[in-house]
Structure 1
Amino acid sequence: MKHLLSIEELTREQIEKIVDLAILLKKDRKASPQVLAGQQWALIFTKSSTRTRVSFEVGIRELGGQVMFLSGADIQLGRGEPIKDTARVLSRMIHGAVIRTFAQQDVVDFAKYGTIPTINALTDDEHPCQILADLQTIKERLGGWEGKRICFLGDGDCNVARSWIWASARLGFELVIGAPKAFQPQETFMSGVPAGTVRVVDDPVEAVKGCDVLYTDVWVSMGKEAESADRIETLRPWQINDTLLKQAKPDAIVMHCLPAYRGKEITDEVMEANADIIFDEAENRLHAQKAVIVEIVQQAS
């Protein structure tokens, strides 16, 4: 494992190893292995962030490294200088790159032409770090994902939903994508996914029946602001509220990758009732990402 570009590229064994290591790293942060001692890593973000930036900065430092932050104003990823040239230049100066941007191809090209570990911290296509943290949370709370039914509600064609689909394909748990037809995974994407991986449902009550985990994300992702009013109106029936939650298993947990827009994709009441889980999930970004870095560095040595 030289890079983390997508859940699609990971094997079952790699995912399980990262999740197990993340749980161990969480138990004693002071004992974090200093695998990045003497190294300088760069966070290259053309999309703004709170949790991703903080968790990676803290994680890299806890692993003994130094970190610099480069925003869209500092580096024009994919605009002006070609990605392959940027990757070659930075590879001679830093030891690893964490990239949060729009196009998945930018991250792929950076990894291809660079000579340093490259981590996808979010693109429009995938959000692998989030799903690894989510899987860690489910293992901590439910003992694992085997035999569990997970339901993603809302925009079923977003980056988080796509990464969940690949996680299901690799790990074999039951995944339901609950979304109105206009927001269901595109056929061009699903054509590359193994048959039987996911069940797509266009009725919210049917979607959550028998589910162990209800998961949602923002309805208006960055870059979709012009569609805000239409999205909110179409997705309103898919809000996680007390009424919908009663249709799932009695002990079902609710997860949200944050930021949460209370009153839209989730009610304030449900958010608060599941706050311990949701904010554990947020914290686990730190531990899962540290596990990814440790795995990459150790395999390279």
Structure 2
Amino acid sequence: MTTSARPEQVTPLTPDTLPAPVMAGRDFLSNLDMTPQELRAVMDTAHSMKRGEWRGVRPLSGLSLALVFEKASLRTRTTFDVGMYQLGGHAITLSSQEVGLGTRERVSDVARNLERWVDGVMGRVYLQGTLQELADHAGVPIINGLSDMLHPAQLLADYQTIEEEFGSDLRGKRVVYIGDGNNLANSHIHMSVLTGTDVTIVTPVGYEPNGAVALDAVRRGASVTLTNDLAAVEGADVLYTDVWISMGMEAEADIRRRAFRGYQVTPQMLETIAPDGIFLHCLPAHYGEETVPEATEHPKSRVFDEAENRLHAQKALLYHVMGLMKPRW
């Protein structure tokens, strides 16, 4: 299933027909900062944007977003920057050399400065606590572009891609994540709470996702399975993987490669998932480790659709967080 439409099918929106922003002025540090209804509104907007219905609409005209990076980025930087431009706003990129969160100056001071110049801040940082500190001291929305604990903006693009394949009702769909129980694994567990998917995290012993995240999700009624058994991949509707060695873990590279041996997604593994199942990877891919080029190029792969959807999903997020703001000048 696809939400794409031919140009002649598109009904352009106007400033008077835009949906109401559902997260106006709020922080987005976790997928659980949304309700299921708010997630639905953001997803509907992302699909609408991808269809071209927002072309020419500039709801964020006159607004600025600071992009604060402690970690390198291709997709996060490009999509947030282009997204602000397409919505009529402006993005300014600030590297760790320019800001130095917690080193060059206090995180709280950075927050108090930025709130006086810009209308929102996206942070791609090492620690979730850094984002929380920014949120505690800034009077403008803070958006999590990645932290050690969570990667919620990525999951919006992931689920847009999943909905393109299976429709908007994902209850009972099996999402199997294989590899390191990292920030993406934690965020997949959060999305199970919001969407009703059955999420299975398959990791080597000792590399499971955050236990508190999983326990909280189960208490909220989510279907979450943690296992070391590779057989759990069989029959998956969605098979997802990520790098074994995240930025900042390079010293553990050899240990991790040995631990994750056998957890590589190959074309042979893709033949064991559901006949209409799909393969996702947030990229960048470390070929020869968590996957191989033949998997990302496989007919079941939606990896590059997923990358494209970073733009649409994040534009939708920006609109729903910043859409009611007025320019300061």
Do they superpose with TM above 0.5? yes
Report the equivalent of 1:163.
Answer: 187
Name whichever structure is richer in helix by fraction. Answer: 1
Matching residue within 102, 113, 126 for 1:89: 113
CA contact (8 A) 2:123 2:143 kept: yes
The answer to whether residue 157 in structure 2 is matched with residue 125 in structure 1 is no
Change (3 A) 1:29 1:45: farther
Q: 1:217 and 1:32 mapped to 2: Cα distance?
A: 35
The within-5 A match list for 1:36-185 is 36-144=60-168, 145-156=170-181, 158-185=182-209
The answer to whether residue 55 in structure 2 is matched with residue 31 in structure 1 is yes
Query: What root-mean-square deviation, in Å, do the aligned CA atoms of Structure 1 and Structure 2 show?
Result: 1.7
The answer to whether residue 252 in structure 2 is matched with residue 210 in structure 1 is no
Aligned length: 299
Report the equivalent of 1:286.
Answer: 311
Deviations 1:90-144 (A, max 9, x none): 1111111111101111111212211112111001110000000000000011223
CA contact (8 A) 1:155 1:179 kept: yes
CA contact (8 A) 2:277 2:300 kept: no
Q: What is the SS of the residue equivalent to 2:66?
A: strand
Is 236-245 or 147-156 further displaced after alignment?
236-245
Report the equivalent of 1:198.
Answer: 224
Q: 1:155 and 1:276 mapped to 2: Cα distance?
A: 20
Q: What is the SS of the residue equivalent to 2:253?
A: helix
CA contact (8 A) 1:177 1:201 kept: yes
Q: 2:62 and 2:125 mapped to 1: Cα distance?
A: 27
Opposite residue 260 of structure 1, the aligned amino acid is: A
Opposite residue 236 of structure 2, the aligned amino acid is: C
Matching residue within 37, 40, 45 for 1:21: 45
Matching residue within 240, 251, 255 for 1:226: 251
Q: 1:187 and 1:70 mapped to 2: Cα distance?
A: 33
Q: What is the SS of the residue equivalent to 2:130?
A: helix
Q: 2:120 and 2:265 mapped to 1: Cα distance?
A: 38
Q: How far did 1:81 drift?
A: 2.2
Opposite residue 142 of structure 1, the aligned amino acid is: F
The answer to whether residue 257 in structure 2 is matched with residue 249 in structure 1 is no
Q: How far did 1:228 drift?
A: 0.7
Opposite residue 280 of structure 2, the aligned amino acid is: M
Change (3 A) 1:299 1:175: farther
Q: What is the SS of the residue equivalent to 2:143?
A: strand
Matching residue within 258, 281, 286 for 1:261: 286
Q: 1:181 and 1:282 mapped to 2: Cα distance?
A: 30
Change (3 A) 1:299 1:93: closer
CA contact (8 A) 1:25 1:32 kept: no
CA contact (8 A) 1:97 1:117 kept: yes
Q: How far did 1:214 drift?
A: 0.4
Q: How far did 1:274 drift?
A: 4.4
Q: How far did 1:12 drift?
A: 0.9
Q: What is the SS of the residue equivalent to 1:183?
A: coil
| TM-score, length basis structure 2 | 0.86
Deviations 1:134-160 (A, max 9, x none): 00000011223223101000012x001
Q: 1:146 and 1:275 mapped to 2: Cα distance?
A: 21
Deviations 1:162-218 (A, max 9, x none): 00000002221101111111111243443333345311121112x112211100001
Change (3 A) 1:115 1:127: same
Q: Is there any run of 5+ residues in structure 1 with no aligned partner, and where?
A: none
Report the equivalent of 1:273.
Answer: 298
